[in-house]
Structure 1
Amino acid sequence: MKAKQEGQIQGLLLNRHSPIITNAVFADDTLLFGRASRHEASKLKEIISSYTEATGQRVNFLKSSIYFSKKTPVVLRQLNSLVFNFWWGRKDKEKKLQLISWKDATNRKDKGGMGFKDFKLFNLASSPFLQKAKLLGLEKPSERKKYVEGRHQHNVGDGRDTLIWYDPWVPHVQDFKVQRPSHCPLDINHGFDLIDHDNLQWKNELVVHYLKKRFGAYSVRSGYRFLLDKANQSIIHSPSNSLSIPQHIWKKLWNLPLQPKIKVFVWKALLNALPVKGNLAHRGIPINSTCPICNEETKSIEHIMFWCSHARATWFSSCCNYKPDAIGFNSFTQWWIAITQAFSIDDDSLCLIAIVCWIIRKQRNMAVF
C-alpha cells in the first residue's frame, strides 16, 4: 500500500472507473501486479524481501511464475535478446556473426536445439487460461477448417449445427471426435454452447474442463512444450545438405559424459554453424578461401575436420587410428550419424571421437589466429 501511495508501483487498472489493484490474495496464492519495468520489478522483489524478514516466511520461487500481458511484447523480445546476446558473446550494441537462428536455438535439445527459453511462448503458457482452447488446436470458431490431412471435417461456424460429441471437429484427435465425459451436463451438446458469441471466441474454461480428459492435465511445462513444438514443426536440418538428423542422435550426443563445450561444438558442426570460410563467404563476407595450413581450397567443415593435412595427421596419430576416406563421404552430419549408430552402445569411443574433432578445431584456431 505504501509503495502504491508513493507511486513506486502502478498496479493494475481493470477499467477507467475501477480502483487500482496491486495484489490479490487467495487461499494459498498471492498475485502481485505491476508494470513491466526494471524499477517496479526491483521494488516488488524488495517488498517480498521485507515481508520475509518481518514474518519469517519464505517465498518458494521455484513454484512462482511471472506473467506479462499481451501488450508487453517489447519486454519479452528484450528478454529473448538478452539471452541470445549472452550466448553469442555480444556486449552493448556490439555485432557478431549469428550462424544459428533464435527459433532453432529455442528448440528442444532432443530435436536439434539448445533448449533456450522463449519468453514469449512461456508467457503465453503461463497465462491464467492461457488461451488453452488455442493450445488444443482450436482456432476461432469461424476459422475451423473443413478438411484436415485430406479427411472430411465438420465446419463449426456458429456452433448451432455442430454436435460436439458426434461430429468430427477437434484436431489432433483420432477421427476428430471426442467422447462425452460422465461429468458433463446433458444440456451441453452443441458447439454453440462452447462459444462466447459476444467476442467470437471459445469459452476457454469450458473447453478445457470438458476436454481435459482427452488431453491430460495441463501444466505450464506441458503448455510450453506444446507451443514450442507447434512453432518448430519442421525438423532442423543441416544447411549444407538438408539431411534430417534423427531424434535419437541428438539424445545420444547430449547424454555423452563430455564437457559441455565439446558437445556444443559437435552440435554446431552438425548444424553447419561453425564460422568456417565457406559459411562466411555464403553470408557475403569477402574472405580468401585458401586453407592457411595446407594451401588448398577450403569451403567446408569437412575440409577442416577430415581433408586438411593437419586433420589427417591428427586422426591417424590419435587412439582412433582413423584414415578419412572421401569415397562415399557426403558430410560431417552424415558421418556423425553413421559413427553414432556404429558405436551406439560404446559411449567411450564416441567421446574419444568427439574429443578428437574438438582438438582438431582448437589446434587449427591456435595455428591460424
Structure 2
Amino acid sequence: MVAKDDEMFWPFATDGLYDTKSGYGFIRQQKVARTTSSSSGAQVPISFWKALWKVVWRVVRGILPVRKPLRVRGIDIEEVCPFCQVEDESIDHLMVRCMVVVRWWFVIMGGLRVNSFSTVQELLQQVFELNDPALAEKCVNFMWVIWEARNKLVFHGMQVVLDTLVARLQVVEAPHRMSPVP
C-alpha cells in the first residue's frame, strides 16, 4: 500500500480551496444555535465550537497528527518541526516549546510565557485555574490558530508572520461578536 500525502480541502467550495467568499457563504448557511459564551453571551455557530473542540480534544489526548507520532506509526516523513527546523515536532513542542511559537504566545497573549510549561496540559491547567474565561477562551483559540498556521506551512509552503496570526485570531474570535444569522 502506497502512502499518499494528506491534502487540505475546504468542503464548502467547489474547487476545495478556501477563500473569503466561500467562508462567508459557509457562515451564512450554518444554523446558529444559542450558545452562551462565558465572556460575551453572544450567539455562536455550533460548527465553530465543534471544530475548535475537536482540535483541543486531540491536543489534550495527544492524538493530533503531528510529525513525530505519525513517524512512530510508520509514516515515512521527516520529524523536524516545520516552524523552528530544530527539534522533532510533537504536540507539546508545537504548542508550547517551539521557540517560534513561544515568541508568538508572548507577543499575542500579552506576555504569557508558555516556555515555562513542558506540556500543553500544564498550560491549560494553569490557565483554567486562573478562573478567567476570556483568557482560557483566547488560549484555546490561539492553539487553533497555531494548528492552522502549521498546516498552511506544511501543506502549502506558506510562511506565517505575526500580523497574519493576530488577524486570524481576531477572525476566530469573531463568532462571539456575530449577530444571529437567520
> Which band: TM-score by shorter chain?
0.5 to 0.7
**Residue 156 of structure 2 corresponds to residue 335 of structure 1:** no
Unaligned ranges ≥5, structure 2 = 1-8, 10-35, 39-43, 156-182
Shift of 1:352: 0.8
2:64 to 274, 295, 302: 274
Q: Taking CA–CA contacts closer than 8 Å with sequence separation of 6 or more, which of the two structures ends up with the larger relative contact order?
A: 2
Summarize deviations over 1:176-215 as a string: whole Å, max 9, x none: xxxxxxxxxxxxxxxxxxxxxxxxxxxxxxxxxxxxxxxx
Kept in 1, the 8 Å contact 2:127–2:135? The answer is no
Summarize deviations over 1:156-193 as a string: whole Å, max 9, x none: xxxxxxxxxxxxxxxxxxxxxxxxxxxxxxxxxxxxxx
State the match for 1:285 in structure 2: 75
State the match for 1:242 in structure 2: none
1:358 to 140, 144, 151: 144
Shift of 1:332: 1.3
Task: Kindly report which structure 2 residues correspond to 1:189-268, keeping only aligned pairs within 5 A, or say none.
Answer: 259-260=48-49, 261-268=51-58
Shift of 1:269: 0.5
Kept in 2, the 8 Å contact 1:320–1:353? The answer is no
Unaligned ranges ≥5, structure 1 = 1-88, 90-254
Give the letter aligned to residue 277 of structure 1. Answer: R
CA 1:366–1:299: 2 relative to 1, 3 Å: closer
Shift of 1:335: 2.4
Shift of 1:256: 5.9
TM-score (norm 2): 0.54
Give the letter aligned to residue 355 of structure 1. Answer: N
Summarize deviations over 1:109-130 as a string: whole Å, max 9, x none: xxxxxxxxxxxxxxxxxxxxxx
State the match for 2:15 in structure 1: none
CA 1:311–1:330: 2 relative to 1, 3 Å: closer
Kept in 1, the 8 Å contact 2:82–2:154? The answer is yes
Kept in 2, the 8 Å contact 1:277–1:298? The answer is yes
C-alpha separation in 1, matches of 2:98 and 2:115: 12
C-alpha separation in 1, matches of 2:89 and 2:82: 12
**Residue 91 of structure 2 corresponds to residue 301 of structure 1:** yes
Report the secondary structure of 1:350's partner residue.
helix
Bigger Cα Rg:
1
C-alpha separation in 1, matches of 2:127 and 2:88: 24
C-alpha separation in 1, matches of 2:67 and 2:53: 22
Kept in 1, the 8 Å contact 2:68–2:79? The answer is yes
CA 1:293–1:323: 2 relative to 1, 3 Å: same
CA 1:290–1:340: 2 relative to 1, 3 Å: same
Kept in 1, the 8 Å contact 2:71–2:77? The answer is yes
C-alpha separation in 2, matches of 1:305 and 1:359: 10
Q: Which has the higher helix share?
A: 2
Report the secondary structure of 1:325's partner residue.
helix
Shift of 1:276: 0.6
Kept in 2, the 8 Å contact 1:256–1:351? The answer is no
C-alpha separation in 1, matches of 2:109 and 2:122: 22
Give the letter aligned to residue 360 of structure 1. Answer: I
Task: Kindly report which structure 2 residues correspond to 1:5-16, keeping only aligned pairs within 5 A, or say none.
Answer: none
Kept in 2, the 8 Å contact 1:278–1:300? The answer is yes
CA 1:287–1:256: 2 relative to 1, 3 Å: farther
